[in-house]
């Protein structure tokens, strides 16, 4: 009965249920009061019932919002949810009253004076009938309690939407559910209605030139294991070509992938004694971009552009922005107890924001990944992503998956599993084994993404030593990605033709919405988040 008590305290209220067998006389105010309750046989119940004050609650059905045939916005939906709880509170009180009256009847039947006027057979029949009615009433109370609990969850969900930055149009709206009376609640809703309409996301049309502000971050661009001595890794970042290689000291460097002499791509050449050699005329450049060898001519003071480049946690990082780089790098290592099993790099023909949108959304899994990791997953009636008020991390309900967006382009997730493709428990803490994933979505160009994927496990360490296991992981990663890729490519096609890919976000889109709001703020230069700041 805790939920019923809570609803009573809220004095707030979806559908109507058949009334009980006990009818009541409507009072002057239109409410139902215990003072004149009739039983099945029409007998008047004692007006001095000591419980009359507790059950003296007005029937809210006359004030239910008229919404039939209308498409409700979030504020109207919130109002309907509140009236649902108020009605369920009233309904639960009536059910409890029914049980009390039935108990009084039992007492009446067992009363010694009543036994003098009734046969034993009649008493047995009356008691059996009352026992059945009492059982049904108890069952109805449990149903009402469950309905109140569900309605309270719905109200909390609706209020979370109202308080969300996106649905409020960046305006703070205080919509509290603790109003003790319907009139106060109605005034609150009237105040909300006078607020400006919500500002929705608009991600449509051709991808614009990247803002310089978005470049002022450390970006992981390659795995350390892929950058051996005397080798190089060409990359594109923000529509510009770069090449990464190791200098004489073994430290990585990043220079533009264009020779200063005749604009030949340097990655077509080779690395010689810590310098990258152009294949056209042999000019050689060090990791700081300075030309240190120029065969067949006099050495000139030539330098190509280079970027700050560091190595940490098995990743090569660059700083493509014009601002001075921050002194520290974030840690992207898996949590303690995990071992890295696979590191995979892919080049994808999609804009990196669309790919991040996809990675930050798991509600699509039982529809999209039906032949890979989500095979056999059930489709829940409601999927939520629960986060701090303004955080970029949280966990899925009902999936045992923790997820985080790490600026500027990283997604980290921990999945509780019992075996591949099967979920175990309702949270990662309830699961005995886990898969940890890192996705880095480097914006190569406005329609191309360099994806770095790292997979770690906290079980089965022997898998690292299985011959050719890396090809199995690559095959599985390709299969999962291809399930998403055809959808994201379709989105990109529609987006380029003017469709808004964020037309109507819902509750399980929360993390993706907050990524878009973060990116919008950074691109406008008004909300630059750094790695050292807490994300909540």
Say what the pLDDT of residue 197 is. Answer: 46
Percentage of residues of the chain with pLDDT beyond 90: 38
Instruction: Find the range with the poorest average confidence among 39-43, 149-153, 168-172.
Output: 39-43
With tokens 């249920």, the residue in question is: 17
pTM score of the predicted model: 0.65
Burial grade of 429 (CB within 10 A; 0-12, 13-18, 19 or more): exposed
CA distance 494 to 496: 6
CA distance 398 to 380: 8
| pLDDT class of 185 with cuts at 50, 70, 90 | very low
CA distance 159 to 155: 6
- Cα dihedral value 461, 464, 470, 473, nearest 10: 0
Residues 6 or more apart whose CB falls under 8 angstroms from that of 132 comprise: none
Say what the pLDDT of residue 122 is. Answer: 75
Say what the pLDDT of residue 116 is. Answer: 57
Instruction: Find the range with the poorest average confidence among 107-116, 174-183, 242-251.
Output: 174-183
Say what the pLDDT of residue 393 is. Answer: 87
DSSP symbol at 213: G
Q: Who has greater pLDDT, 516 or 31?
A: 516
CA distance 276 to 284: 5
DSSP symbol at 174: -
Q: Are 14 and 182 in contact (CB under 8 A)?
A: no
CA distance 320 to 326: 12
Q: Who has greater pLDDT, 268 or 378?
A: 268
| pLDDT class of 28 with cuts at 50, 70, 90 | very low
Q: Which two tokens stand for residue 169?
A: 């149009």
| pLDDT class of 531 with cuts at 50, 70, 90 | very low
Instruction: Find the range with the poorest average confidence among 158-167, 312-321, 376-385, 490-499.
Output: 158-167
Say what the pLDDT of residue 68 is. Answer: 53
Q: Are 349 and 255 in contact (CB under 8 A)?
A: no
| pLDDT class of 37 with cuts at 50, 70, 90 | very low
pLDDT in tens, 493-524: 999 999 999 988 888 888 899 999 999 999 98
| pLDDT class of 239 with cuts at 50, 70, 90 | very high
pLDDT in tens, 380-438: 778 888 877 667 888 888 888 899 999 999 999 988 875 544 555 566 777 778 889 99
ω into 229 cis (within 30 of 0): no
Q: Are 272 and 281 in contact (CB under 8 A)?
A: no
Q: Are 33 and 57 in contact (CB under 8 A)?
A: no
CA distance 389 to 371: 35
Q: Who has greater pLDDT, 375 or 412?
A: 412
Q: Span 444-456, mean pLDDT?
A: 95
Q: Which SS3 state, helix, strand or coil, does residue 328 take?
A: coil
Instruction: Find the range with the poorest average confidence among 8-17, 197-206, 377-386.
Output: 8-17
DSSP symbol at 433: E
Q: Span 164-188, mean pLDDT?
A: 44
Say what the pLDDT of residue 109 is. Answer: 65
Average pLDDT, the chain: 76
Beta bridge partners of 272: 275
Say whether pLDDT at 17 is over 50. no
With tokens 């450390």, the residue in question is: 218
Maximum average pLDDT range among 5-9, 20-24, 490-494:
490-494
pLDDT in tens, 322-373: 999 998 898 899 999 999 999 999 999 999 999 999 999 988 888 888 887 7
Q: Which two tokens stand for residue 413?
A: 């997730």
Q: Report residue 56: phi and psi, to 5°.
A: -85, 75
Q: Who has greater pLDDT, 399 or 214?
A: 214
């Amino acid at each position: 009965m805790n939920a019923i008590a809570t609803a009573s305290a809220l004095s707030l209220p979806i559908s109507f249920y058949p009334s009980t067998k006990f009818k009541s006389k409507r009072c002057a105010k239109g409410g139902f009061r215990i003072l004149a309750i009739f039983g099945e046989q029409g007998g008047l119940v004692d007006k001095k019932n000591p419980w009359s004050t507790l059950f003296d609650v007005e029937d809210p059905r006359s004030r239910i919002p008229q919404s039939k045939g209308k498409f409700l916005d979030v504020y109207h939906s919130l109002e309907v949810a509140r009236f649902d709880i108020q009605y369920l509170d009233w309904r639960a009180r009536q059910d409890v009253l029914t049980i009390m009256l039935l108990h009084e009847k039992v007492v009446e039947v067992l009363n010694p004076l009543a036994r003098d006027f009734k046969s034993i057979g009649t008493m047995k029949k009356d008691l059996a009938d009352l026992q059945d009615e009492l059982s049904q009433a108890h069952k109805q109370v449990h149903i009402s309690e469950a309905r109140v609990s569900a309605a309270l969850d719905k109200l909390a969900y609706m209020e979370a939407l109202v308080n969300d930055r996106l649905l409020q149009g960046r305006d703070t709206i205080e919509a509290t559910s603790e109003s003790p009376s319907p009139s106060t609640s109605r005034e609150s809703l009237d105040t909300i209605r006078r607020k400006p309409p919500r500002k929705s996301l608009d991600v449509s049309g051709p991808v614009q030139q990247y803002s310089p502000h978005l470049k002022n971050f450390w970006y992981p661009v390659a795995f350390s294991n892929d950058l051996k001595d005397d080798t190089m890794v060409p990359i594109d970042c923000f529509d510009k070509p770069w090449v990464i290689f190791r200098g004489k000291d073994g430290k990585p460097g990043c220079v533009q992938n264009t020779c200063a002499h005749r604009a030949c791509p340097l990655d077509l050449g080779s690395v010689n004694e810590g310098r990258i050699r152009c294949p056209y005329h042999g000019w050689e450049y060090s990791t700081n971009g300075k030309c240190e060898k120029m065969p067949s001519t006099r050495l000139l003071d030539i330098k190509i552009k280079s970027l700050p480049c560091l190595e940490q946690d098995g990743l090569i990082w660059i700083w493509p922005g014009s601002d001075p780089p921050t002194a520290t790098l974030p840690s992207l290592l898996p949590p303690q107890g995990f071992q890295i099993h696979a590191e995979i790099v892919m080049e994808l023909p999609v804009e990196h924001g669309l790919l991040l949108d996809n990675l930050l959304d798991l509600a699509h899994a039982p529809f999209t990944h039906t032949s890979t990791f989500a095979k056999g997953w059930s489709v829940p009636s409601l999927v939520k992503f629960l986060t701090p008020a303004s955080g970029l991390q949280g966990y899925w309900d009902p999936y045992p998956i923790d997820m985080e967006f790490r600026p500027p382009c990283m997604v980290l997730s921990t999945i509780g599993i019992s075996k591949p493709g099967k979920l175990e428990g309702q949270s990662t803490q309830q699961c005995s084994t886990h898969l940890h994933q890192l996705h880095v979505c480097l914006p190569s160009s406005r329609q191309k993404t360099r994806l770095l994927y790292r997979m770690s496990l906290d079980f089965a360490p022997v898998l690292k030593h299985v011959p050719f296991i890396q090809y199995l992981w690559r095959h599985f990663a390709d299969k999962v990605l291809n399930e998403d890729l055809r959808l994201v490519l379709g989105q990109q096609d529609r987006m380029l033709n003017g469709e808004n890919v964020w037309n109507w976000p819902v509750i399980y889109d929360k993390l993706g919405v907050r990524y878009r709001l973060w990116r919008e703020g950074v691109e406008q230069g008004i909300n630059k988040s750094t790695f050292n700041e807490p994300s909540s």
